[in-house]
Structure 1
């Protein structure tokens, strides 16, 4: 299918089921409801009421795998479906041979759900690059890749500050030193083009609960060369012939489904197909251009309002959200939410995420609400006494 330009943001925004609540600027944390997902969940309930539900569900699983493979330029046999990124990281860790090389290089800006898997793997040494504050640059990786490095773990876009790393540059350096690379693309998939061959990564993980406009509960693991040692966590979906249901046979197929475990969450699978079908119709280069423009506009507006915003000096090194520095981000987010501006607080910042559906009016509403919050907190209204 040839990708087409996304609809005008205003018309696309009408497909958000929760559009009346106001501006949804939290896709870096949770996708908004869409009419496509609503219909998919209704279809799941209809299928559940008929004979043959599991056959219908497995058709959705196959379709989700196909759509994600197409999105990242992979073959379907290179894609495994798992419940989340932590399980995906565990599968990678337990399927590799850790012999002379026993070091994993990651960054302080890594999402904890992945970093903790590396730290918990016995016998491995985790090395950290970048600043403990979360700042990271490709050069931080390049300076620490050595002949002891076995695996390099790279977020395509960091979850807090939205730093977009040059994955190809890091991958080339890692491969030159004999190390493999895993990319966490959770904060990139759906809002910018991704091509696993262009990145040359060995593994890539992304999920549908954020910019891919689905639900939490489904993650995809791309594996460039799926053969070799199977992971130690497994299940009936990881067998060569799952429906043979042979309890005494522990085999593994030659493709990436050897990384799978048990039955995926059905609702998340149906929603994944809906979200991936919607995103798959976008020209992600245009989505990327749209979000970069909105990031620039929002940064300028907030800076003029006296806010401190963490953004890259070069927009090409910025993801699809910006981070407004706020020590009480949860309280600020709750206040804004009551005023129909949905944001995503995280670790001392308030994240504002852009997507194809984000409009200039959404940015106006967010900036005005943030200004109102500052005024309210600086000049609280006295409580009336009775």
Structure 2
């Protein structure tokens, strides 16, 4: 029996129907006292996630070994993520974060034969750091500059050539909240035989993600942001028919054909995505991710996207009318789930809002204001009103 079937992890009935935004919001008790607008950094905790971690500790405190139950919960999380992005469980590797996912992918390509790695300057820096570290293996790293969507697409077109082995791109940028046309850029890469690695941390949970429709080779997403889990776990999709030129250099017992063989002399590699796994998974994060993903499925990715887009546009209009400057894309359809508000001291603005029980996510020169399915128009109006108050003389 799976963790979901046992009813211990989420409290969700298997045949329960869809959740509207109000019913979804009711599963997040912290929202009774806090306006959470920082999911682009860390999601809010739901009762489902809290109960799931309680179930994990319940298994730990039992009279028998918790490992069999923990393994079931981990596989449930793998299956839930696979279903969420249109893949099969065998196509998903469990890794601790995007950094390891990116390294595992790039470690399997022949950088002598095709040395070029193409990276977005607007992706989270860890992706670029992984690429730059490959220069000691002969890699040539080319950065695609930021700009409006069409400018970015042209940048990828100019950077990708027959020497390119891998193209890295975010589905939505972590700073400016810009959605990229993943399928279009993937087509540019595949036309010259390059592989495509997508960082979907800022997309999974707030918009439909379909690895087949996007036609990507790798996709990574972590559990702690819009996926509404906790830190410690990321899911790495690997195209099932992908032929790796090399075995990964970073490996461990979970990457073996039979981990339970405990054979120190044999280095074989499992089929599919699991060959890129290393050691034990973060069990609490797996419990939380499984519960959160099932909750998100009840909300429905299409409904979530429409709801979030409406809130984002309302906030953009109110902030612009108040004279604020937004750094994101100009076209509403190109906006992700957060706005990047320009501010001379985003940390100070964030601290002032926190004192009023409003949580945003400052990064660099921007105060990021993000929205999820549990947010509503009152949240938008409140944060915009408080930012106006902050700007007033003596408001601080």
- TM-score normalised per structure 1: 0.94
1:287 to 304, 328, 346: 304
What is aligned with 1:12? 24
What is aligned with 2:279? 262
Measure how far apart 1:134 and its partner are.
11
The RMSD of aligned alpha carbons is 2.1
Measure how far apart 1:369 and its partner are.
1.4
What is aligned with 1:92? 105
Q: How does 1:213-224 map to 2 (within 5 A)?
A: 213-224=228-239
Q: How does 1:155-170 map to 2 (within 5 A)?
A: 155-170=170-185
Rounded to whole Å, the distance in 2 between the matches of 1:350 and 1:313 is 17
Rounded to whole Å, the distance in 1 between the matches of 2:251 and 2:227 is 26
2:338 pairs with 1:338 = no
What is aligned with 1:188? 203
Q: Secondary structure at the match of 2:299?
A: coil
Rounded to whole Å, the distance in 2 between the matches of 1:5 and 1:136 is 42
Q: Secondary structure at the match of 2:324?
A: coil
CA displacement, residues 314-349 of structure 1 (integer Å, 9 cap, x when unaligned): 222111111111121111111101111110001110
Contact 1:324–1:351 (CA<8 Å) still a contact in 2?
yes
What is aligned with 1:42? 54
Measure how far apart 1:149 and its partner are.
1.4
- Size of the aligned set, in residue pairs, is 379
CA displacement, residues 185-241 of structure 1 (integer Å, 9 cap, x when unaligned): 000001111111111111100011011110011001111035533211111111111
2:252 to 222, 235, 238: 235
1:307 to 319, 324, 328: 324
More displaced 10-residue stretch of structure 1: 245-254 or 343-352: 245-254
What is aligned with 1:25? 37
Report the CA distance shift for 1:126/1:217 in structure 2 as closer, same or farther (over 3 A): same
Unaligned runs of 5+ in 2: 1-13
Contact 2:120–2:169 (CA<8 Å) still a contact in 1?
yes
Q: Secondary structure at the match of 1:95?
A: coil
What is aligned with 2:11? none
Rounded to whole Å, the distance in 2 between the matches of 1:29 and 1:292 is 18
Rounded to whole Å, the distance in 1 between the matches of 2:80 and 2:88 is 10
What is aligned with 1:140? 155
What is aligned with 2:10? none
What is aligned with 2:3? none
Q: Secondary structure at the match of 1:365?
A: helix
Measure how far apart 1:49 and its partner are.
0.6
Measure how far apart 1:283 and its partner are.
2.1
Q: Secondary structure at the match of 1:356?
A: coil
Rounded to whole Å, the distance in 2 between the matches of 1:285 and 1:132 is 27
Contact 1:157–1:163 (CA<8 Å) still a contact in 2?
yes
2:121 pairs with 1:108 = yes
Rounded to whole Å, the distance in 2 between the matches of 1:145 and 1:68 is 30
Q: Secondary structure at the match of 1:66?
A: helix
Rounded to whole Å, the distance in 2 between the matches of 1:185 and 1:92 is 15
Rounded to whole Å, the distance in 1 between the matches of 2:148 and 2:251 is 36
CA displacement, residues 139-179 of structure 1 (integer Å, 9 cap, x when unaligned): 22112211121111010000000110001001111111111
Rounded to whole Å, the distance in 2 between the matches of 1:4 and 1:317 is 33
What is aligned with 1:278? 295
Contact 1:6–1:287 (CA<8 Å) still a contact in 2?
no
CA displacement, residues 59-84 of structure 1 (integer Å, 9 cap, x when unaligned): 11111110111111111111100000
Contact 2:109–2:165 (CA<8 Å) still a contact in 1?
no
More displaced 10-residue stretch of structure 1: 156-165 or 308-317: 308-317
